[in-house]
Amino acid sequence: MVSFADRLTDKIRETGNPTVMGLDPMLDYVPESIRRQATLELTDPAEAAGLALYLFNQQLMDAVADLIPAVKPQFAYYEQYGVPGLVALQKTIAYARGKGLLVIADAKRNDIGSTAEAYSRAILGETNLGAAKSQSFMGADCITLNGYLGLDGIQPFLDQCHKGGQGVYILVRTSNPSAGDLQDLVLNDGRTVYEAMADKVSEWGRDLMGQSGYSSVGAVVGATWPRQAEKLRQIMPHSLILVPGYGAQGATADDAVASFGPDGQGAIVNASRSLMLAYKKHGLPAEDFATATRLEAIAMRDDLRSALKRAGRSIE
């Protein structure tokens, strides 16, 4: 069984592109032609909305599947549309995997005991349906987690990683402006809260090291905090790092590079709106969104490659 860390590292090397596309669709993002198509196929407005989201995602993935290693659907964007949204999420994950893309479920789950086990089965593993039958509800390759409940809330996911080869990304230093209100607090031993969490991520990942030298237990570290990211990379030398904040949130490729290892590996940079809505930047009609997304994905790849070269961490 190949670990998530090794599969992701191999895909990044294969594409030469440490980019993950966030699939965070709103119905307003979907071009009118796709919404019309959905309403012709399904008369129920809620079901048509879910279908429109899926068709939009499908074209986005078709545009970049040969360029990027992974996609990252944010669950809240689908849950807000109810059951049809969850159907769209299921179909999106299945389609992504069929295109050879790894799927990072951006669910940020946070609970303990049997509830955490249920989340793990739903999103990464399989649910027992009785009579020796089981079924994967989402079947993602990886999940984002909030680790601030401690190991109790993480262990069921680690167990699934050992069993099925999946991965986790645990929130360490997030990209939002108010992150420091809690994460920057200083503990009695002189560490910040986010440094203490990084130590835990490193500890929890020791038994899930891959041949690549990276663990399938990773961290979320925002590109908006490059100075902190450099320190966190030192604390977590073998952890995969998921890097949000590039593009629409204002961080640059040079900011994102701080989370990469000295080998130019170990990190993947997320872009959501800047890829999904790239047609606005490129001055193209909304109907040409897929073409614009491909152009922007290439530009982002080249931007990251150049930044890595400047930092002496080239992946080429």
Contact 234, 213 (CB under 8 A): no
Distance of CA 100 to the CA centre of its chain: 15
Q: What is the DSSP letter of 52?
A: H
Residue 309 catalytic?
no
In sequence order, what are the residues at sequence separation of 6 or more whose Cβ sits closer than 8 angstroms to the Cβ of residue 164? 1, 124, 125
Contacts of 178 (CB under 8 A, 6+ apart): none
Q: Which of 72, 91, 99, 108 is catalytic?
A: 108
Q: Where do we find the tokens 């969104």?
A: 289
CA distances from 138 to 17, 43, 121, 186, 237 (A): 26, 26, 9, 38, 30
Question: Which run of H or E residues covers position 5?
Answer: helix 4-15
> How far is C-alpha 220 from the chain's CA centre?
9
CA–CA distance, 307 with 210 (Å, rounded to integer): 26
> Are 291 and 64 spatial neighbours (Cβ–Cβ below 8 Å)?
no
Q: Given its phi and psi angles, is residue 82 left (phi above 0), alpha (psi -120 to 50 degrees) or beta?
A: left
Give the CA distances from residue 100 to residues 177, 181, 227, 275, in Å, rounded to whole numbers and listed in that order: 35, 39, 34, 19
Instruction: Give residue for tokens 């069921």.
Output: 156
> Do 214 and 266 contact (CB within 8 A), yes or no?
yes
Residue pair 102/169 in contact by the 8 Å Cβ criterion: no
Residues with a catalytic annotation lie at 108
